[in-house]
Structure 1
Amino acid sequence: MAEGKYRSDIDGLRAVAVIAVLLHHLNTSLLPGGFVGVDVFFVISGFLITSQVYSEVKRNAFSLKGFYQRRINRIVPALATVLLATVIVGAFILSPVDLIRLNVSALLSLLGVSNIYIWIKYGNYFAADAGEAPLLHTWSLGIEEQFYVIWPLFIVLLYRLAPRYVLPILGIGVVLAVAVSEYATGVFATAAYYLLPTRFFELMLGGVLGIYLQQPRVMGKLTAHALALAGYLLIGFALFALNAKSTFPGLNALIPCLGAALLILAGSGDRHSRLLTCRPIVFIGLISYSLYLWHWPLIAYLNYLEIPVDIPVGALLIAVSIGLSWLSWRYVEVPFRRAGASWHFSRVFVRRFALPALGLAAIAVLSVVFNGFPQRFGPQVSALEAMTQNRPNEIRRGCHVTNALYSTGPDDSCRLGAKKERLDGIMIGDSFANHFTGMVDLLARPDNLSIMDYTMDSCPPIPGYDADMSPVYAAHCAKRNERVFSLIEQNKYPYVVLAAIWPKEADARDIVEASIGRVVESSGQVIVILSNQHIEKAASCPIRRLMFGSERDCSVVQSALAPYWADVRAKFPQVRFIDPNQVICPAGVCSPIIQGQLLYLDDSHLNEGGSRLIGRTLLERGYSLLHDPVRTARTEMLKGSSAVMN
């Protein structure tokens, strides 16, 4: 692309990308794969910026200072405006813990590393609590800014060392980068979504195209239309065929990226797509950066306030987002970019980057030092929030691992219950098994049992079961269960505890029966911990009732057990069952808070204090890991009846 040549079709492609993201965020059912709009943005960014950098490198006119001056002028003014507005609104409505997260995230967003923070704090991009994070979307800016720390230097070095082989080397690099992404996505699925190494090929692909089009390329009308059609089809396929459960990025991300590259290539002559160059689409493309920045905080705050995004609210949100974006583009993006172009680098750096960063750093430090300013709400809000930070997966780190660490072996020092040298048994299962460790620790002590916990995310102890799992997670779980069940069969543990979010569907009976049967055959006593009740907004509802004075009832009616459990109990009468809902759901109504203790850390998982409260309550009622007073009483009654009959 000739330097300085404006292409309205690229603004149109930006519009396609931002509309896809916006619709996906409003309602995932509208565009299940709308998140790939970000990948389209990456290709566009790689194309435009590499085109400019490479042109300057060839003319020996490239300057790192000039490059970063342009990046600061382009990115920071609108970003800082949105960050400031988001932080101000957050100060009025966010809880102390959430305000700290927001303010730290705002600073890291400006520094270009929020993707790492978001990965650590929220994990899965599609997780329920991530939908309330006002700056979740800034992870993509982190990817771009980290890429542009490396990329210009790499282009300069490559051009100087091998000017004739720049394209072949970069072409091979794209192939290798795709392979790295596909492999890493299969091993570290959550990290791969947020981190640069697995996204590198997307910007790199655009960069290769930018270098390729430095030379004029003759393209016929038929070829241009064919390329454009292929590009539309690839992006359309990604928008509707991919979803939150798809393995991503990896090869799946290559689909929309190739589509974007083909559309850019097709428009490189004078035959631009009418769809991409129509005035409304180009307008959305012009404000697309601001629209990307503004729309998500609005949605996140609606989610936080539990305001449903129905059709009227959604329409209003779109209108407000576009209005704010136009104002931001017209009065921040354009004038700041023009004014900053004539400034010295030091002036741009200090005024446009350093000062906003220092301001956000001060806000972040103050919010941390003053614990999120809890005096904005009653003291009980902070007390309940502290309970949600008591996470079993962090307390039992190493004993419980993420799905990516499926090959981790058991650790004999991971013990629950009695403090003694001899090991009595093993506890296996998924993250729900992990959140029951506090309860099991208490219930094992009266029987003087020492139980080793060996649990992993997204892996119920059901060999062959993979419903609702991504292919990567299913493969990891299969290997983990193979090891776990081999351990049980080899060691013949006297006691085995099984816990999980057990399947709800009736047709899971056979596979659940077979799994429990394998354990029964290879061990002494088998204890099955049933799933606890799922309660929507279990962790946040009690807190926000106090914050906002709402009258919402946080409790729910207890769900029925999966129908196959009656058959399992009948087939394995020797198996001991522990039901945590005996405590959570008195009289069939389940509450996320009991005796002032918040039980949950999200909609389904218990926090450590909640798990231990359930354990203590069961102990007070005469239960232990091996003792069931109801079952004992029933047995004694049957013995008495038998004696009378004799």
Structure 2
Amino acid sequence: MNLKYRPDIDGLRALAIIAVIIYHLNNSWLSGGFVGVDIFFVISGYLITQIIYTDIIQQQFSFKHFYQRRINRILPVFFIVMFCISIAAWYILLPDQFTFFLKSLKTTTYFGENIFFAQNTGGYWDIKAETTPILHTWSLAVEEQFYIFFPVILIFITKIYAASKNNKIIKIISLLFILTIISFTLAQLSPYWVLLTKFNYYSLFTGRAGELLIGSITGLLSSTIKNNKHLDQVTTQEDKLRQANLFNFIGFIGVILSFILFSKHLLFPSFWAVIPTISVALILFFYHPNSYITKLLSLFPFVYIGKISYSLYLWHWPIFVLGRKYLFIDNFINFKQYIIVVSATIILSIFTYHFVETPCRKYKSSFKFSVIMYYFLPSLIIISLFYIQKDNIFNNVQSQNTLKIYKLMKTKHWEINTEGFCYNIGKECIFGDTSKKPEIVAFGNSHMEHMFRYLNQAGKMYGFSIRMIGSGGCAYMDGFIGDQRCSQIKPQIDKWIKESRIIIYTANFWGQNNKAEWKNGKTFKDIFPIFLDKMLQQNKAVIILQDIPDLNSQEVEKFFYNYLNNKKSIRYDFFTHKEIAGNEMIKQIIQGKGPNIIFFNPLTGLSTNEIDDWPFYKGIFAYADSNHLNAYTAKEFPKEVLPKQKYFWEKIAEKANQ
């Protein structure tokens, strides 16, 4: 079935992709721009369901025809973009980054990248996720999974209710509505179930199915009214236009407010997602060609952007990610750089829309041709590339010793977790001398995590046990607005604090103080003293570990590139000295609070040579990135410094075990 073309739907697509692009350029400009993906889901559910259901009731539905149209529409341009990005990634990414990229690329051949990213990142807003060139394809995997399952489900329930003539559609919609509620409920419950938390953002079943099904229900209702002349003629044209203007306006305002007011600090997807998705459903269902919102969305600029929105979506994220890497910056910082990446995105999108998308969609080919040329052949190339390159990726490195040391330097502290340290959600998380009762709790963000081995070894050496847990980006202070990981872990930490005599905390203090993640305009400098006073009132001793030197990410990237290319005599301006400002801030905060608060440098005891050579430790670069020790340094430096810190840790052990 070919649906009657509605330009306003392309206008909705334009709104969605513009919001997504703005958000990915700078999320402070449009904090809820990620909701654009949810708009795409509703539109997809709406259109696909209308196509499938109309063909079913007319007894014309064919799986072969349905999947061929999806293949022709989605896969040719998708794989073209993936191949182009692979070439760029090979030149731009560091070897370990390219290895991860290849693994993610392989999952696109079976539409499993959403599961891959859920398993291999700390969440959608995780730093690792933000530097993954094809992260955005998770949403395409969700749609493909929906296209695989939904036709079967719809045919099945249509046959079940085939005998019901008067209320068949009501029963079908009721069942889909129940599935929608289940999907959103699973998303809402995700903070209370580790498995759901990990997969919430990326999974088809936690919220995303609900969003697609809202589109499906809207499509079924629209098809039913169109196919029932009596229902369609109950309302006059004047009333239809009046309704359309009212409900289209409500829907449009709902979408815009979602873009503006939503942020990554909400649990999402969840029942919050009902607001933008129902808003889109109102625009889709109460359609009238003469309504104000329809006319607005049908303007040529919106329609054209909507037509190329798929190409825009495919190109924009890898260009932004690789652009940041290529320009050696953490974020775009001037107007010229924004213009470059946006212009490149638009030009490539226009090209692929007109020369790949449109010809492949219109080309009348056989099902066999489409499957082989647009799916099996590109998938075979990607899988072959993965298995050829996965073990030979470093062949351009001049020596195996260079490769070995590079891998050692780039291994992050959490990537070798043989001790079972607790990152994000843990069990009891007890380390050190586990024969002793744990009276110490250590927590913080990722800067606590690379101290886990240090604290574990201190406990073993000086006879105390310690609970340790960390999660990147989380401050665990009242007044901190964290994502769902932070919210989920905080109650456990609060419980452990009550059970402990000694609190150990660390973070990148300068970075925490400059985060816009504190309630009521507060900063870390405002909140941390309140936390310390609370600990003192509870008669807790607090040890604050001094933050390690912060490095310039641009210089770190340059170092790794030059190291692989055997350019080792280059001078680097590594130090930003941000940690000095952060550490001085802590000293000011604790001044006058008494002897129960100690600010301690974990690197105390390094030899003079090691201090002078920093950020190299024992001849090896000490960091995996600009502000985290690599696994080698995190494991080795405690062996040197802990014997020299004997007096300090013996006093801590005495207090813990008294």
TM range (shorter): 0.7 to 0.9
1:131·1:303 contact (CA, 8 Å) conserved in 2?
A: no
Task: Look up the SS of the partner of 1:624 in the other structure.
Answer: helix
Instruction: Return 36-45 or 556-565, whichever deviates more.
Output: 556-565
**How big is the shift at 1:399?**
4.1
Partner of residue 636, structure 1: none
Residue 468 of structure 1 corresponds to which residue in structure 2? 481
User: For 1:454, what is the secondary structure of its paired residue?
Assistant: strand
In structure 2, the residue matched to 1:319 is: 343
Could you tell me whether the CA contact under 8 Å between 2:412 and 2:629 is conserved in 1? no
Secondary structure in 2 matching 1:429: strand
1:529 to 2:545 alignment: yes
The 1:482–1:442 alpha-carbon spacing in structure 2 relative to 1, beyond 3 Å, is closer
For 1:386-425, what aligned pairs fall within 5 Å after superposition?
386-392=408-414, 395=417, 398-402=420-424, 405=425, 409-410=427-428, 414-416=430-432, 421-422=435-436, 425=439
1:302 corresponding residue in structure 2: 323
Per-residue CA deviation, residues 559-601 of structure 1 (Å, 9 max, x unaligned), is: 2325454564654425554313658999999965444333334
Q: Percent identity?
A: 24
Partner of 2:634: 611
Provide the rounded CA distance (Å) in 1 between the counterparts of 2:21 and 2:209. Answer: 24
In the alignment, structure 1 segments of 5+ residues that lack a partner are 490-494, 630-646
Q: After TM superposition, give the deviation of residue 184 of structure 1 in Å.
A: 2.0
Residue type matched to 1:596 in 2?
G
Contact 1:556 1:590 in 2 (8 A): no
> What's the CA shift for 1:135?
0.7
| Residue number among 597, 602, 606 corresponding to 2:620 in the alignment | 597
Change (3 A) 1:86 1:606: same
2:443 counterpart letter in structure 1: G
**Are 2:7 and 2:303, in contact at CA under 8 Å, matched by a contact in 1?**
yes
C-alpha deviation, 1:618, in angstroms: 2.3
Across the two proteins, how many residue pairs are aligned to each other?
606
Deviation at 1:388, TM superposition (A): 3.0
What is the rounded CA distance, in whole Å, between the counterparts of 1:613 and 1:171 in structure 2? 57
Contact 2:241/2:288, CA 8 A, preserved across alignment: no
Residues 385, 543 of structure 1: 8 Å contact kept: no
Of 207-216 and 75-84, more deviation after overlay is shown by 207-216
Alignment of 1:76-475 (within 5 A): 76-163=75-162, 164=168, 165-184=171-190, 187=193, 188-189=196-197, 191-198=199-206, 199-214=208-223, 215-216=225-226, 217=232, 218=235, 220-267=240-287, 271=291, 273-305=294-326, 306=328, 308=332, 310-339=334-363, 341-343=364-366, 345-375=367-397, 380=402, 383-392=405-414, 395=417, 398-402=420-424, 405=425, 409-410=427-428, 414-416=430-432, 421-422=435-436, 425-431=439-445, 432-447=447-462, 449-457=463-471, 465-470=478-483, 472-473=484-485, 475=487
Name the CA distance, whole Å, in 2 between partners of 1:532 and 1:229: 53
3-state SS of the aligned residue for 1:392?
coil
**Against the structure 1 CA distance between its residues 102 and 409, is the aligned structure 2 distance closer, same or farther, given a 3 Å change threshold?**
closer
Given residue 453 of structure 1, which amino acid in structure 2 is its aligned partner? R
In the TM superposition, 1:511-550 aligns within 5 A as 511-517=530-536, 520-521=539-540, 527-535=543-551, 537=553, 540=557, 542-546=559-563
- Bigger drift between 503-512 and 192-201 goes to 503-512
Map 1:46-61; keep pairs closer than 5 Å: 46-61=45-60
The aligned counterpart of 2:602 is 580
- Paired AA for residue 388 in structure 2: L
Amino acid paired to 2:345? S
Q: Structure 1 counterpart of 2:467, which letter?
A: D
* Structure 1 position 450, deviation (Å): 4.4
On the 8 A contact 2:471/2:486 being kept in 1, the answer is no
Instruction: State the Cα distance separating 1:229 from its structure 2 match.
Output: 1.1
- Tell me how far apart the structure 2 counterparts of residues 133 and 460 of structure 1 sit (CA, whole Å): 21
Q: Report the Cα distance in structure 1 between the residues aligned to 2:474 and 2:17, rounded to whole angstroms.
A: 38
- Aligned-pair distance for 1:375? 2.0
Cα pair 1:584 1:591 within 8 Å, conserved: no
Answer whether contact 1:520 1:526 (CA < 8 A) is retained.
Answer: no
* Distance in 1 (alpha carbons) for counterparts of 2:36 and 2:614: 40
What letter corresponds to residue 205 of structure 2 in structure 1?
P
Instruction: After superposing the two structures, state which structure 1 stretch, 565-574 or 606-615, moved more.
Output: 565-574
Aligned partners of 2:612 and 2:272: how far apart in 1? 44
Q: Distance in 2 between matches of 1:377 and 1:43?
A: 52
Q: Determine if contact 2:456/2:466 at 8 Å carries over to the other structure.
A: no
TM-score norm. by structure 2 comes to 0.83
Q: Which residue of 1 aligns with 2:31?
A: 32
Deviates more, 1:425-434 or 1:66-75: 425-434
Q: Is the 8 A contact 1:426 1:496 kept in 2?
A: yes
Looking at structure 1, the residues matched to 486 and 443 of structure 2 have their Cα atoms a distance apart, in angstroms, of 14
Q: 2:576 aligns with which of 556, 569, 575?
A: 556
Q: Using the alignment, how far apart are the partners of 2:572 and 2:478 within structure 1?
A: 37
The 1:619/1:172 distance shift into structure 2, 3 A limit, reads closer
Per the TM alignment, residue 334 of structure 1 is displaced from its structure 2 partner at its CA by: 1.6
Structure 2, unaligned runs of 5 or more? 163-167, 227-231, 514-523, 652-658
Shift of 1:429: 1.1
- State the 1:528 CA deviation: 4.0
Amino acid in structure 2 at the alignment position of 1:508: I
Q: What letter matches 2:478 in structure 1?
A: Y
Is the 8 Å Cα contact of residues 189 and 248 (structure 1) preserved in structure 2?
no
Judged with a 3 Å threshold, the aligned counterparts in structure 2 of structure 1 residues 21 and 478 are, in CA distance, closer, same or farther, namely closer
Distance in 2, matches of 1:19 and 1:461, equals 32
